[in-house]
Amino acid sequence: MPTFFEAKQLVTPGELLAEGEYQAGENTYKEENKIYASRIGLADLDNKRVNVVALRAFYQPKAGDIVIGAVTEVGFNGWTIDIKSPYTAMLRASDVLSRPFKPQNDELSQVLDTGDLIVAKIASYDRAHDPQLTVGEPGLGKITRGQIMRVTPTKIPRVIGRKGSMISMIKQETGCQIILGLNGVILVTGKTTDDEELAMMAIRKIEEESHTTGLTDRIMQLLKEEKTKREENKL
Amino acid sequence: MIEKPEKLIDKKGVRLDGRKADELRPLKLEVGVLSNADGSAYIEHGKNKILAAVFGPREMHPKHLSRPDRMVLRCRYHMAPFSVQERKSPAPSRREVELSKVIRESLEPALFPELYPRTGIDVFVEVLQADGGTRCASITAAALAIADSGIPMRDLVVACAAGKIDDTVVLDLYDAEDKLGVADVPVAYMPNLNAVTLLQMDGILAPDEFEKAVNMAIEGCKKIYVLQKEALKTKYMNVKEEIKEETEE
């Protein structure tokens, strides 16, 4: 039962990773007891499970995920939302208005219009139906201030860090509020645009260097250096 | 039209462009060349210059073409008007429609269409300069572009042709050999799964010659595969190396 890769080795689609009693994990597939990679990424063995951390992927909706999307269309009884995924999501009017929705009284475009950005949770999704969104929870709803950035969705776990260590560090250092959409869209809200830019710079850095170790410490150092540099410039 | 020379291959086994019978043309592959596409690749195969771009998976338009149980692959092979000696009309010709189909069918076995129902992916292949064997080079580039877009694949697809000029079976025919030669056998191949996804023949070959040509083409595919893999890794390796240097400082 051999494996054919070293830990964190860069593999391409179709590369043979293991043979025998292994399980096919993320971004791999099994055929005739052999495990192959199905995306370009870094291979890893976790117990008997072979995983590939993809370097390039797109967002696959899952019920319960928090996502950030843009309104693309205002319909008769809801909105169409682009969530940067193969499927477009729907948000129902009755979900946003906390009362029964009557088309004759309510003008939907006054609540949310094309181009508006929202933080939402995926209420339901399966193969046969497009994802349904909900904003009926605290922290969800229309975005009124802050800056938006996009990263590859596979990098989001790295931005969060182990038990949220990375993201809480960035929040602390920059004093920004950061909402991570699992679809790869990130909202950064700070007191000043300077703070926001600092946080965004850190996230860019994480995205580029996501596969290296000791990243949390390096980002911390980077943020501190940048902060002192900016202080000096002000004086 | 090219004047037919007396011999396409001389007694020493050297072809008109100086190659040996089993020699490939020089290849250059690049991944991620277009920022507006989800995935892209560029190939220079001898004098062929081809761009491939991939979009999706995304909602299918027109909607009736989508399938409730799987993803649909669409391909468009197109030759630029300036890609050949005589200006080619930019409207899709019979040949381009056929090649689009052939490229689509050779890429389909590498995908997992059941993973993304009701969606579609679009592959656009633009031939900027043609010199024989564009369908093979297009398949090689398109497979790279799909891998670059992050669409899961069973394996990369590589393609290469073999054929017969005068009375010798040779690898990777270029334009003049293709037009003046006896036969042309394009083969698309998935190297890790050892599966052929495209096999065509234009011309006349004896059964033993055919077998020799197919085997020769597969060997050629394997050589191209090494370069293809290299090109895909290079795009992502660059980032990795930069960081290594930084941390060492």
List pLDDT tens digits, range B32-76: 999 999 999 999 999 999 999 999 899 998 999 999 999 999 999
Decide if pLDDT at A156 tops 70. Answer: yes
Which percentage of chain A shows pLDDT scores above 90? 53
Which ranges in chain A are annotated with CATH 2.40.50.140? 66-142
Reported as a pLDDT band with limits 50, 70 and 90, residue A105 is confident
Quote the ipTM score.
0.89
What confidence score (pLDDT) does residue B242 get? 57
Which ranges in chain A are annotated with CATH 2.40.50.100? 9-54
Summarize pLDDT for A23-58 with one digit per residue, the tens.
Answer: 999 999 999 999 999 999 999 898 889 999 898 899
CB within 8 Å: A56 and B148: yes
The third-level CATH classification (topology) of the domain covering A9-54 is: OB fold (Dihydrolipoamide Acetyltransferase, E2P) (2.40.50)
What confidence score (pLDDT) does residue A213 get? 75
Q: Which of B152, B236, B237 sits opposite A38 (nearest CB)?
A: B152
Give the best-scoring range by mean pLDDT among A127-136, A192-201, A205-214, B135-144: B135-144
Q: Which of B58, B117, B243 sits opposite A209 (nearest CB)?
A: B243
- CA–CA dist A179, A163 (Å, integer): 16
The third-level CATH classification (topology) of the domain covering A66-142 is: OB fold (Dihydrolipoamide Acetyltransferase, E2P) (2.40.50)
Angle of helix A193-208 relative to helix A215-234, nearest 10 degrees, comes to: 150
From chain B, the residues in CB contact with A86 under 8 A are 56-59, 116, 119
CB within 8 Å: A40 and B237: no
CB within 8 Å: B233 and A10: yes
Decide if pLDDT at B248 tops 80. Answer: no
Q: What are phi and psi of A51, to 5 degrees?
A: -120, 155
Long-range contacts of A160-164 (CB under 8 A, 24+ apart): A161/A216
Average pLDDT over residues B101-105: 97
**Cα radius of gyration (chain A):** 21
The two three-digit tokens of residue B140, written as one number: 């090689």
CB within 8 Å: B153 and A39: yes
Comparing A112-116, A124-128, A207-211, B45-49, the range with the smallest average pLDDT is A207-211
Decide if pLDDT at A164 tops 70. Answer: yes
Domain B27-232 is found in CATH 3.30.230.70: yes
What confidence score (pLDDT) does residue B249 get? 46
The two three-digit tokens of residue A205, written as one number: 């850095």
From chain A, the residues in CB contact with B190 under 8 A are 14
Decide if pLDDT at B105 tops 60. Answer: yes
In a 3-state reduction of DSSP, which class is residue A51?
strand
E-only strand ranges, A41-192: 41-46, 49-54, 66-74, 78-82, 89-92, 117-126, 129-134, 141-142, 147-150, 177-180, 185-189
Average pLDDT over residues A3-9: 85
Which ranges in chain A are annotated with CATH 3.30.1370.10? 147-228
- The pLDDT mean for chain B works out to 93
Reported as a pLDDT band with limits 50, 70 and 90, residue B7 is confident
Which numeric CATH code is attached to A147-228?
3.30.1370.10
- Within 166-195 of A, beta carbons closer than 8 Å to B belong to none
Decide if pLDDT at A107 tops 70. Answer: yes
Summarize pLDDT for A64-98 with one digit per residue, the tens.
Answer: 999 999 999 998 889 999 999 999 999 998 888 87
CB within 8 Å: B118 and A87: yes
pTM of the model as a whole: 0.90
CB of A3 within 8 Å of any CB in chain B?
A: no
CB within 8 Å: B150 and A57: yes
